[in-house]
A = this chain, B = another copy of it.
Amino acid sequence: MYIRNDKRAPNQLRDIKIERGWQEAGEGSVLVSFGNTKVLCTATFDTSVPRWMKDSGRGWVTSEYEMLPRANNERNSRESRKGKIGGRTHEISRLIGRSLRAAVNLEALGEAQIIIDCDVLQADGGTRCASITGGWVALKDALLWGKENGFISDIDLVLEKQIAAVSVGILNNTPILDLPYEEDSRAETDMNVVMASNGEYVEIQGTAERQTFNRDELNQLLDLANEGCGELFKLQNNLYK
């Protein structure tokens, strides 16, 4: 049977930390760690909306993801210097935005925009899942700020869902939870699962990296993701006790 290099059980998360109020600026500011992966999630509560939403009575939630140039073992050129954003950055930004938008009732939010900046300070696999999990806390903090400052009347009407995300994958035919980079790069199948705390799915993105996967494997992966997200929901909730 496959033994993980870091000795974790197949269904065990890495050490997870979520720190609120990490920065002075930002209506929500969260440093989230999934093991060595560290992402700074900063929520900006913008009382104006993008032009195309003006007078719609609805709000918006969006996200921008980016990695520091030396978040990885190798230094990557800055996208600002290259003059364009890469496909991976675009893809992940959109996933985070969609996932967190699903948490919010945009009509109840009214004409305001929440921007969640997810800057990866250190990358060791699972950066998009950490961004969503930490981003939800930053989002909640920004909405609490909005409530305190009179932009929102009833926060429960606005924040309809609790959201978290985790990666799962198959390595040496063993389904495993929360893959660090070294497992991720060897996995046969790789899946990111975004869940709501009602146990339902917000987004499922599964990719056969080296081998196609069947329905049974898919179900095992989803079981693992349910377990992992369950723990993440508890950790999120502990922050507000």
> Contact: A207 with B98, CB < 8 Å?
yes
Interface flag for A144 (CB, 8 Å)? no
Interface flag for A150 (CB, 8 Å)? no
A46 CA / B70 CA spacing, docked (Å): 12
Take A44-B70, A117-B70 as given contacts and tell me if A94 and B84 are in contact as well, using a CB distance cutoff of 8 Å. Answer: no
Interface flag for A134 (CB, 8 Å)? no
* Residues of chain B lying within 8 A (CB to CB) of residue A191: 204
- Residues 135-163 of chain A: 1 if any B CB is under 8 Å from the residue's CB, otherwise 0? 00000000000000000000000000100
Take A78-B64, A87-B90, A121-B23 as given contacts and tell me if A201 and B208 are in contact as well, using a CB distance cutoff of 8 Å. Answer: yes
Which residues of A from 4 to 26 have beta carbons under 8 Å from B?
23-26
Indicate how many identical chains form the complex: 6
Q: How far is the CB of A206 from chain B (nearest CB, A)?
A: 4
Which residues of A from 110 to 131 have beta carbons under 8 Å from B?
115, 117, 119, 121-122, 124
A213 CA / B193 CA spacing, docked (Å): 12
Take A42-B68, A94-B87, A122-B23 as given contacts and tell me if A206 and B208 are in contact as well, using a CB distance cutoff of 8 Å. Answer: no
Interface flag for A182 (CB, 8 Å)? no
Q: Is the interface of A mostly helix, strand, loop or mixed?
A: mixed
Which residues of A from 34 to 75 have beta carbons under 8 Å from B?
36, 40, 42, 44, 46, 64, 66, 68-73, 75
Interface flag for A218 (CB, 8 Å)? yes
A134 CA / B215 CA spacing, docked (Å): 25
> Contact: A75 with B207, CB < 8 Å?
no
> Contact: A75 with B102, CB < 8 Å?
no
Q: How far is the CB of A211 from chain B (nearest CB, A)?
A: 8
> Contact: B70 with A64, CB < 8 Å?
no
The 4 closest A-B pairs by CB, nearest first: A200-B212, A87-B90, A79-B80, A80-B80
